Structure 1
Amino acid sequence: MGGRHRLLLDGERWDRLVGLSRHDAHKLVRVLRLSEGAAIEVFDGRGRCCPARLVRAGGGGWMVELDLESASQTDESWRRVRLAFSLSKGRKPELVVRMATEAGVSSIEPCLSARSIPRPDKLRAEQRLRRWRNVAREAARQCGRSLIPELQPLRPLGDILEHLGEWKGVILDPAGQVPFVEWLRANPESPLLLLVGPEGGWEPAELALAKKLGFACARMEGPVLRAESAAAVAAALACQL
């Protein structure tokens, strides 16, 4: 099914014939210029995908006809990674969300650290979360993933540090005791909670708390990366090593 246009469709709506919203129909027919009978791939964002084709409906609408017998469940074979990153200004968080989705992370968790910029109020934080979820959905559609990573609400760094659970934790810092790649190779296949800080770095108290709660402290080697680039590169390495 590689190369087909993809459509995100809630799994609860899957049936042999499913009507399309005006938005989806416009995108497929007007933007992508697909015609009746065109082959597409439908996915539910939870790992299930299905071949389908575009068909006309009454009243000028459009539907997709799903080949449900050929539907399949995708289980991603790489390491499970939760990426937590300190909130940064402008559109940089959207870039992190898009690249982390493409890298294969299972969860994206923005957080507020001592040096986070900005510090949005509740309404603005909710608006950003909705926008980031849309970014993740679109990135998954474009890169061929059938699983969309969970986008967690913005919360304080301490809340994330205190909920390590089954995950192995690692926090990136330029003064980390071990190279990040070396640490990954020493901990193969372990589900990972990865923390990436802001441009100004972590406060000493934040690093101390992370270490106290069981997080390793590792460093990225090579050229100095911007915070959003470091998050994307580290996420890709963590998923694949």
Structure 2
Amino acid sequence: MPLHFLLDGAGAGAGAEVSDAGPGDPVTLTGAEAHHAAAVRRVRTGEQVTIGDGRGTWLSGEVESVAPREVIVRISSRADVPAPTRRLVLVQALAKGDRDELAVQAATELGVDEIVPWQAARSVSRWDAAKAQKGRDRWAGIVREAAKQAHRAWVPEVGALATTAQLSALAASAVVLVLEPNAEEALTSLALDDREDDVVMVVGPEGGIASDELDALARGGAQLVRLGDTVLRTSTAGPAALAVVSAAIGRW
């Protein structure tokens, strides 16, 4: 599979912009992407690559020239990939170490459309006002790199830090599934293919979701579901649920 590079649609450097480029146009990789292409991936003249803007534009082309700070690609074909009409959203509780970041990375590779950080009652990691934007930016960087690695035409959004009350309100316009090991209903038992609403999967922190949070989410219309008979880590529960739901709604 050709190497894939991700550039902002508003400006890819000299040559045509990604959002407007078509067959015959040159697109120039500069900055970090040029360094990654030339020094890390060591692309060569004549090599086939793909370029995206993370918003559905998908360009294929041939490397025309390579320099440490500039790589020029001549575009041979263009496709515009539509955004999913039914979105899959992961609400990931903040977790200690890098467990929440591992979940973010894997979920992106598996096809999630949006990731929302949640500061649950039992979250060991805490994002105060000063840390919230920094943490969100870090997650966005992880998402970008994972989307590029997975050759995704659309880069998932990273939402603002959510409260439990905000999560409870989501059930008014989406299918909200709270992953709870002790839930009576299995995720695999749900008929998700007969609805068109977005699917939101809520994952708690290491210590699980507090009982008052579970009650609040249930009152808001969320469904408590379990994944098998084992207790998964917060880093693996979301990606596992995402795989099940993707198969259930026909994405896979």
Superposition TM-score, scaled by structure 1 size: 0.89
Q: Alpha-carbon deviation of 1:228? A: 1.1
Q: Alpha-carbon deviation of 1:58? A: 9.2
Judged with a 3 Å threshold, the aligned counterparts in structure 2 of structure 1 residues 119 and 55 are, in CA distance, closer, same or farther, namely: same
Counterpart of 1:219?
A: 226
Q: Alpha-carbon deviation of 1:52? A: 1.9
Please give the per-residue CA displacement for 1:26-79, whole angstroms capped at 9, x wherever unaligned.
211121111223211011111220102223389973322223xx2112246795
- The letter for the 2-side match of 1:48 is T
Counterpart of 1:198?
A: 205
Native 8 Å contact 1:36 1:55 kept in 2: yes
Does residue 11 in structure 1 map to residue 18 in structure 2?
A: no
For 1:155, what is the secondary structure of its paired residue?
A: coil
Q: Aligned-pair RMSD on alpha carbons?
A: 2.3
Match of 1:239 among 230, 233, 246: 246
Q: In the aligned structure 1, how far is the partner of 2:127 from the partner of 2:156? A: 23
Native 8 Å contact 2:181 2:229 kept in 1: no
Q: Alpha-carbon deviation of 1:210? A: 0.9
Q: Alpha-carbon deviation of 1:17? A: 2.3
Q: Alpha-carbon deviation of 1:102? A: 1.2
Native 8 Å contact 1:78 1:240 kept in 2: no
Q: In the aligned structure 1, how far is the partner of 2:67 from the partner of 2:188? A: 57
Counterpart of 1:33?
A: 42
- The letter for the 1-side match of 2:3 is H
Q: In the aligned structure 2, how far is the partner of 1:28 from the partner of 1:198? A: 37
Please give the per-residue CA displacement for 1:80-105, whole angstroms capped at 9, x wherever unaligned.
21110211012112111111111111
Q: Which structure 2 residues correspond to residues 112-191 of structure 1 after superposition, within 5 A?
A: 112-184=119-191, 190-191=197-198
Q: Which moved more, 1:85-94 or 1:158-167?
A: 158-167
Q: In the aligned structure 1, how far is the partner of 2:194 from the partner of 2:220? A: 18
Q: In the aligned structure 2, how far is the partner of 1:79 from the partner of 1:239? A: 11
Please give the per-residue CA displacement for 1:119-158, whole angstroms capped at 9, x wherever unaligned.
1222322222112111111111111211111111222222
Q: Alpha-carbon deviation of 1:229? A: 0.9
What stretches of structure 1 move > 4 A for 4+ residues in a row? Answer: 57-60, 76-79, 184-190
Native 8 Å contact 1:7 1:42 kept in 2: yes
Give percent identity, aligned residues only. 29
Native 8 Å contact 1:129 1:151 kept in 2: yes
- Count residues with an aligned counterpart: 237
Match of 1:46 among 51, 55, 70: 55
Structure with the bigger RCO (C-alpha within 8 Å, sep 6+) is 1
For 1:40, what is the secondary structure of its paired residue?
A: strand
Native 8 Å contact 2:91 2:117 kept in 1: yes
Q: In the aligned structure 2, how far is the partner of 1:5 from the partner of 1:57? A: 14
Counterpart of 1:22?
A: 31
Native 8 Å contact 1:39 1:54 kept in 2: yes
Judged with a 3 Å threshold, the aligned counterparts in structure 2 of structure 1 residues 196 and 93 are, in CA distance, closer, same or farther, namely: same
- Show structure 2 runs of 5+ residues with no match: 11-16
- Considering fraction of residues, name the structure with more helix: 1
Judged with a 3 Å threshold, the aligned counterparts in structure 2 of structure 1 residues 60 and 227 are, in CA distance, closer, same or farther, namely: closer
- Show structure 1 runs of 5+ residues with no match: none
Q: In the aligned structure 2, how far is the partner of 1:172 from the partner of 1:60? A: 46
Q: Which moved more, 1:178-187 or 1:72-81?
A: 72-81
Q: In the aligned structure 2, how far is the partner of 1:214 from the partner of 1:102? A: 29
- The letter for the 1-side match of 2:64 is V
